[in-house]
Amino acid sequence: MLQKLIVILGPTAVGKTKFAVQLAHKFNGEIISADSRQVYKTMDIGTGKDLAEYTIENSNIPFHLIDIVNPNQEYNLFSFQNDFYNAINKIVKNKTVPFLTGGTGLYIHSILKNYKLEEVDFNSKRAKFLETLAEEQLEVILNSLNITLHNVTDSTDKERLLRAILVAENKAEKKYLTNLPDFNFETLVIGIGESREIIRERITTRLKNRLENGMIEEVNKLIESGITYEKLDYFGLEYKYIGRFIKGESNYNDMFQRLNTSIHQFAKRQMTWFRKMEKEGININWLKFDEIIKAETLINNFLK
């Protein structure tokens, strides 16, 4: 079946959620989050959930794929794809308009390009064995599989190395083929972009605000709940650097400077993803945050 899908993407700190909520409110829509960290419960400030923004003019805009797993649970691209299609099925039944909104380029790309993934058992005996190996040994195994990595960090982090190996080996064995619903999407992709200077300023201001309003306490609570420092490193950015600050590996000023720099670099990597998508032929209609009327015109024409 042909299903219309509106995608709202952009780098961190450009206001994607607020922009998408306004549009979803006008066009009777529901939002599907494309954010690899907002799926985790209790990770609110560091992931920028801003749940209050989903209420507009006394209306609550329905959202999906936020607060759906605990931080100690496994969540990956395969999980996202299946959850995305479950959400789409609900939205179709509700006869509303789906808005896929976020900044995780890989998640968005997997839908627009209809990735065919295979389920992997990350708790298998093979996984347990790989966990006993050194990072250098895992790199040798991964290189021997001769695969194209979705993410360059697969070759620099032990947990990601392990996952990449299991996915590649499982694909070679072709044990579990994903049975995705039979959807063909007609898509309208809108990108929210601002100048580098504006994004840099917003990132720094937002980081200061979050640090002053509970983000360190949020990471502390994760540690107290049993989340390891290694897992915080996996979550990256705020959780990684604040975790190391709590551990005593850096002072507050060093933590802030390194984290601020890393978020700026993250925003650049997000834009690299989106430019890559454009080179592949995906048309992204770039607008600024204050050009909501132009977005409404695009959507009106799209939904006709």
Confidence of residue 37 (pLDDT cuts 50, 70, 90): very high
Domain ranges of the chain: 118-177, 197-264
- What pLDDT, on the 0 to 100 scale, is given for residue 142? 80
pLDDT at 177 over 50: no
Can you tell me the mean pLDDT for 178-204? 87
- Tell me if 299 sits within 8 A of 23, measured CB to CB: yes
Confidence of residue 165 (pLDDT cuts 50, 70, 90): confident
pLDDT at 78 over 80: yes
Can you tell me the mean pLDDT for 230-257? 96
SS3 labels along the chain: CEEEEEEEECCCCCCHHHHHHHHHHHCCEEEEECCCCCCECCCCCCCCCCHHHHEECCEECCEECCCCECCCCCCCHHHHHHHHHHHHHHHHHHCCEEEEEECCHHHHHHHHCCCCCECCCCCCHHHHHHHCCCHHHHHHHHHHHCCCCCCHHHHCCHHHHHHHHHHHHHHHHCCCECCCCCCEEEEEEEEECCCHHHHHHHHHHHHHHHHHCCHHHHHHHHHHCCCCHHHHHHHCHHHHHHHHHHHCCCCHHHHHHHHHHHHHHHHHHHHHHHHHHHHCCCCEEEECCCCHHHHHHHHHHHHC
Q: Which of 103-107, 117-121, 200-204 has the lowest mean pLDDT?
A: 117-121
Determine whether domain 197-264 maps to CATH 3.40.50.150.
no
Here the tokens at position 150 are: 């979705």
Can you tell me the mean pLDDT for 279-289? 96
Can you tell me the mean pLDDT for 118-138? 82
Across the chain, what does the average pLDDT equal? 90
- What pLDDT, on the 0 to 100 scale, is given for residue 148? 54
pLDDT at 53 over 90: yes
- Tell me if 25 sits within 8 A of 32, measured CB to CB: no
pLDDT at 153 over 50: no
Confidence of residue 175 (pLDDT cuts 50, 70, 90): very low
Share of the chain above pLDDT 90, in %: 73
